[in-house]
Amino acid sequence: MGVIVRTTSGQVEGTVAEGVHAFLGVPYAAPPFGVHRFAAPAPPVPWEGVRQAVAHGPAAPQPASTDIGLFAPDVFAVGDDCLNLDVHTPDPGSAGLPVLVWIHGGAFAIGANSAAWHQGHRFARDGVVCVAINYRLGFEGFLALEGAPLNRGVLDWLAALEWVRDNVAAFGGDPSRVTIAGQSAGGAAVATLMSMPRAADLFHRAIVMSGSATLVATREEAEAYAKEVAARLGIRPTRDDFAALTPQALVDAQPPPLTGQAGGLNESVPLKPVVDGDLLHGPPLGALRADVPLLVGCTSQEADLFVRRAGFDEAAAQAVTRHLFGRETQWIAEARPAHTYEFRWESPVESPVGGGRVGAVHNLDLPFVFDVLDAPGVARTAGTPPQALADAMHGTWVRFVSGHPLPAEKLIFE
């Protein structure tokens, strides 16, 4: 039997294993369907008694399978109550522990906090309260509709961070020591939050992994895209018309998570945050907070699988990596003071797409950072990866989140 913790909505009981307490599927907002569909997140519905928090909550509606991930074995159960989070803590009875809030990637169209390659139990083992969130994806979270607020997925991130502010102390964490972190689209989410005045008091450090500070749409671009989608579906680009369709119907109508990789990131990701003049006043790059310690970096062969899958050679893949991920990382590091890193370890496993080896591609650094080399799919993707490298990367992230100094020079992990 796990420890019972009282949140602002009710009591939750989790599990404990190997000294780590896990509270899974805890709602931070009401289910965003029914009367709440295409609306800003509403407070969670309070409950009586003790809620069992022993299994991951449902992910947001999304395609049942996709190949943009790196052979990861995850198949996510989706459902209405998708605005939930997982908490891993070393001791709910403790106080003042540093907090890591993780935002998953997936081109703002796929993914979940339950993915095997970014589970937080090893962070908790090492003294960090790890909170991993789900949020609305695809059309539900990011399509610009008349009669609906823009940036619903972004509002979900804010609601989750407000929940952390109000509740993490009950799990042993310090709400004044919160680091937000994310990879890929999650990294772009972190950069977006770093530029938002409304988020200013909700976190105190940031980590951008393989992310972007330019991945946004203008209001005009977002509205034009919504009109294209609506015309294809034979409806109007309004909240009422889209709410008349089931979540699965909208998932079926969404484009693949990544399109047009030969262009820039904005061309590759059709659904993303919108410069609305309220939450976002421009691309995040021009407004990144300088007072928040930042760790930013990427892998050395980010785009290889994407480009080789499209039939291009290794030289083209490296060019795209430099153009998309390397350039974005450099821009962020030049925009304000930051610690930088590069992940160079190359998997020797033969790639199932485009020939050659897997290499140091997009997503491969995740099981090293979370120290989960024993997670499903890692051996198939990375062979026998070096534990010493996971110790180094994970230890660096723990030190940064805990507020300890890092070397000034670029960190190389290989």
Instruction: Count other C-beta atoms under 10 Å from residue 48's C-beta.
Output: 7
Is there a catalytic annotation at residue 302? yes
Q: What is the CA angle 323-324-328, rounded to 5?
A: 100
Which of 218, 236, 216, 219 is closest to 227 using CA atoms? 236
Q: Residue 384 — φ and ψ, nearest 5°?
A: -115, 85
User: Which residue in the list 21, 88, 140, 184 is annotated as catalytic?
Assistant: 184
Structure-token pair, residue 333: 């590091």
Q: How far apart are CA 198 and CA 30, in angstroms?
A: 21
Is there a catalytic annotation at residue 184? yes
Q: How far is CA 191 from the centre of its chain?
A: 11
Q: Which residues contact 64 (CB under 8 A, 6 or more apart)?
A: 75
Contact 148, 239 (CB under 8 A): yes
Structure-token pair, residue 339: 């610690």
Is there a catalytic annotation at residue 347? no
Which of 370, 405, 396 is closest to 114 using CA atoms? 370
Q: How far apart are CA 292 and CA 289, in angstroms?
A: 6
Give the long-range contacts of residues 2-5, CB within 8 A, separation 24 or more: 2/54, 3/92, 3/93, 4/50, 5/92, 5/170, 5/171
Q: Which residues contact 72 (CB under 8 A, 6 or more apart)?
A: 115, 116, 117, 363, 377, 381
For 187-223, give one letter per residue: b (16+ CB within 10 A) or e.
bbbbbbbbbbeebeebbbbbbbbbbbbbbbbeeebbb
User: Which residue in the list 302, 328, 339, 394 is annotated as catalytic?
Assistant: 302
CA atoms within 13 A on the CB side of 9: 17
Question: Cα separations (Å) of 54 from 1, 101, 289?
Answer: 10, 19, 37
Helix (H, G, I), strand (E, B) or coil at 167: helix
User: Which residue in the list 88, 118, 121, 362 is annotated as catalytic?
Assistant: 362
Contact 114, 59 (CB under 8 A): yes
Return the active site residues: 184, 302, 362
